[in-house]
A and B are shown apart, each in its own frame.
Chain A
Amino acid sequence: MVLVKQKTPGSESPGGPEVVGRDALLAALESDTASDRRSAARELAAFPETAPALCDRLAVEQSPSVRAAILMSLIRIGSPEAAGRLAEFLRSDDATLRNGAMEALQEMPDALEGHVDRLLADGDSDVRIFAVNILSAVRLRSAPAWLARVIRSDSHVNVCAAAVDGLAEIGGVEMLDDLADLRRRFAGDDFMEFAIDTASLRIRGR
């Protein structure tokens, strides 16, 4: 637990006690002690403006429990800014960090929505795949339509395969024509043919 020094009457700083508390927590976020960083990360959820600092710490944090606390706080903050910073971790070489960011983004659908177009247009196919994986799991009414747009427009086989996998879970019958078009586009690719047939069967069976 991080101890934030109680202030005596008349000693408040110009920013007031909340700012002092926030600044003390931000300082504790850089502590050498993991338990202090973890506590600070949890309590900073009450200060949405600290999302960038939490993300900065997340980028270098090695303790799994502190990482988890930071991600939980970012989910609680749930702002578009927090989602945008989290989306940057989709480029990380650290698979655990990348997956943590993906799972956090799945928990903040409203904040994510404004970033989807940019992520689906990213030049890195892996980022587009991760965006598709997030859309396949997030509670967003518009997610199936985004996945359908991916299979209509993306030329990368693995991005399309990820979208087909998502449509197998959340797609509707109105996407069957798009799937049929995609099957023609990837005719001869035995995995894609299998994946599209599987998705179409599952959609028809719902």
Chain B
Amino acid sequence: MSNASSSPRHPQGDEVSGRGRILVVDDGITMRLYYRSVLEAAGFEVEEATNGVEGYEKALASAFDLMIVDINMPKMDGYAMLRAIRTDPALCAVPAVTISTEASERDAQQALRAGANFYLVKPVGSKELTEVALMVAGRSPR
């Protein structure tokens, strides 16, 4: 469920459409609204999930070109969600970007081992997020 109507508009550009669908999985409401604002401005359609369980269920229920996944979430963390997705034949090819506060090389390696295609460290600027989404969503098999 989007709360986009109660959030400020992101200053970056006018909306265009048709770049693909992105599933944003993050327990922080501000983070989800920010990603939605930036990614919709870049032309993506955005769906939200608040934890790994909901994210996995939404990924199963609908096709996405990219998943943006937080690491520290209740119920199912980002690593566990990615591992579940990478072992599911229906989802294993969907590109995924993890975003975390943890900036060490060890954390990045852990995310990549779990199945992430790209690892970003918070805070992520709108330009960086858009560039990575465009680059990684382009690998989608859809």
Is A54's CB within 8 Å of the partner chain B? no
**Complex: A130 Cα to B6 Cα, angstroms:** 26
Q: Which of A161-191 contact B (CB under 8 A)?
A: 161-162, 164-165, 168-169, 189-191
Contact A161 B122 (CB under 8 A): yes
Q: Which residue of chain A has its CB nearest to the CB of B73? A: A99
B72 touches A130 (CB 8 A): yes
Is B123 touching A157 in the complex (CB atoms < 8 A)?
yes
Q: What's the tally of chain A residues with a CB closer than 8 Å to chain B?
A: 32
Query: Is the C-beta of A65 less than 8 angstroms from some C-beta in chain B?
Result: no
Bound state CA distance, A133 and B74, in angstroms? 10
Q: Say yes or no: A201 contacts B6, CB within 8 Å.
A: yes
Which of A95, A164, A199 contacts B77 (CB under 8 A)? A95
Instruction: Decide yes or no whether A22 CB sits under 8 A from chain B.
Output: no
Within 8 A of A (CB), among B63-116: 71-74, 77-80, 101-102, 106, 110
Cβ distance A157 to chain B, nearest Cβ, rounded Å: 6
Q: Which DSSP category, helix, strand, loop or mixed, fits chain A's interface?
A: helix
Identify which of residues 95-114 in chain A touch chain B, using a CB-to-CB cut-off of 8 Å.
Answer: 95-96, 98-99, 102-103
Complex: how many Å from CA A190 to CA B30? 13
Q: CB-defined interface of A129-171 with B at 8 Å, one 1/0 digit per residue?
A: 1100100000000000000000000000110011011001100
Report the Cα distance A158→B102, complex, angstroms.
10
* Residues of B contacting A: mostly: loop
A197 and B8 contact, CB distance less than 8 A: yes
A103 adjacent to B74 (CB under 8 Å):
yes
Tell me the chain B residues, 39-68 only, with Cβ under 8 Å from chain A: none
Given A165-B29, A190-B11, A195-B30, A125 and B101 contact (CB-CB distance below 8 Å):
yes
- Contact bitstring A116-127, B, C-beta under 8 A = 1, else 0: 000000000110
CB < 8 Å: which of B30, B74, B79, B126 contacts A198?
B30
Contact of A99 among B11, B72, B124, B125 (CB under 8 A): B72
CA distance A95 to B73 in the complex (A): 9
**CB of A129 to closest CB in B, whole Å:** 6
In whole angstroms, what is the CA distance A93 to B106 when docked?
Answer: 10
Distance in Å from the Cβ of A172 to the closest Cβ of chain B? 17
Chain B contacts for A194, CB-based, 8 A: 7-8, 10, 30, 33-34, 37
B101 and A158 contacting across the interface, CB-CB below 8 Å: yes
Nearest-neighbour CB distance to chain A for B140, whole angstroms, equals 25
Residues on A close to B: CB < 8 A?
Answer: 93, 95-96, 98-99, 102-103, 125-126, 129-130, 133, 157-158, 161-162, 164-165, 168-169, 189-192, 194-195, 197-199, 201-202, 205
Can you pick out 17 interface pairs between chain A and chain B where the beta carbons lie within 8 Å of each other?
A: A95-B71, A95-B79, A99-B72, A130-B72, A157-B123, A158-B101, A191-B34, A191-B122, A191-B124, A194-B34, A195-B31, A198-B7, A198-B30, A198-B33, A198-B34, A201-B6, A205-B6
**Hey, which bits of chain B sit against chain A, CB under 8 A?**
6-8, 10-11, 27-31, 33-34, 37, 71-74, 77-80, 101-102, 106, 110, 122-126
